[in-house]
């Protein structure tokens, strides 16, 4: 499924069920809570880790939709930008960006 399609379906579900569609700070808070749940599922090796990651995605696309962001387009653009970037490792082995490409 494309990100654009998932964003649309997630938004339709939120509006049909009467979930938050206007309070961006609340949505960021809920997104943060989902990240915590996913971390706990990963740390405890729980079987619902994948579902928790999906929850993160759904809250993320909701924040995008609330702000008129086409996340499919933005992710594609960002990946293309990251591919062009060049990195060199410093004396500690940490990659440091040296060029935007």
CATH of the domain at 65: 1.10.287
**Residue 80: count of CB within 10 angstroms of its CB:** 10
CA–CA gap between residue 18 and residue 80 (Å, rounded): 36
Residue 97: which pLDDT band, with cuts at 50, 70 and 90? very high
pLDDT at 101 over 90: no
Residue 8: which pLDDT band, with cuts at 50, 70 and 90? very high
32 and 77 co-located in one domain = no
23 and 40 co-located in one domain = yes
Give the residue numbers spanning the domain of 88.
70-101
The structure's pTM equals 0.88
8 and 41 co-located in one domain = yes
DSSP string for residues in 6-21: HHHHHHHHHHHHT--S
Name every residue whose Cβ is closer than 8 Å to that of residue 11 and which is 6 or more positions away in sequence. 21, 61, 62, 65
13 and 52 co-located in one domain = yes
27 and 44 co-located in one domain = yes
pLDDT digits (tens, 9 = 90+) for 13-53: 999 999 999 999 999 999 999 999 999 999 999 999 999 99
Q: How high is the mean pLDDT of the chain?
A: 97
């Amino acid at each position: 499924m494309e990100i654009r399609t998932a964003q649309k379906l997630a938004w339709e579900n939120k509006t049909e069920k009467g979930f938050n569609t206007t309070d961006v700070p609340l949505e960021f808070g809920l997104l943060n809570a989902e990240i915590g749940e996913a971390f706990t599922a990963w740390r405890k090796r729980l079987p619902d880790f994948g579902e928790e990651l999906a929850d993160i995605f759904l809250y993320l696309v909701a924040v995008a939709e609330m702000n008129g962001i086409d996340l499919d387009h933005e992710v594609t653009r960002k990946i293309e930008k990251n591919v062009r970037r060049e990195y060199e490792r410093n004396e500690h082995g940490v990659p440091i960006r040296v060029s935007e490409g």
